[in-house]
Amino acid sequence: MTEDDRVYRRPLPGGGYVAIESSPDATGDSGVKAHVLVERRSDPGRRVGHVPPVVAEIEAADIEHAVEELSEIAGNNVEVARALQRWQARRSDDAAAAADGADPDSGETPAA
């Protein structure tokens, strides 16, 4: 995604920002996909090569509905923090599953 795909952006206390980006629905329907990303790094130089975490996603009929739904997270610092905690937990679970040799998306555990 590019800066042009951003439909919402606001600074976070202490630096960084939260943004909502959108793109056309990949199915070819007239809907959109949108997500909330959180850039935690305040120094733009440190952002190079770093992809901000996507903490929420939605498919909607149009961009207005997507922004309406996602702004409940993006516009609230407490919800941004909660979404980041959920993202970090998923990342930890995925890393643990990979270390155990399981596919984190399959729900299966490897045979011992």
The tens place of each residue's pLDDT in the chain, 112 residues long, gives 455 678 999 999 988 999 999 988 665 667 899 999 999 887 777 777 788 999 999 999 998 999 999 999 999 999 999 999 999 999 888 888 888 876 555 555 444 4
The pTM of the full predicted model, rounded to 2 decimals, is 0.74
What pLDDT was estimated at residue 9? Answer: 95
Pairing of strands 32-39, 54-60: antiparallel
**3-state SS string for the chain:** CCHHHEEEEEECCCCCEEEEEEEECCCCCCCEEEEEEEECCCCHHHHCCCCCCEEEEEEECCHHHHHHHHHHHHCCHHHHHHHHHHHHHHHHHHHHHHHHCCCCCCCCCCCC
What pLDDT was estimated at residue 3? Answer: 56
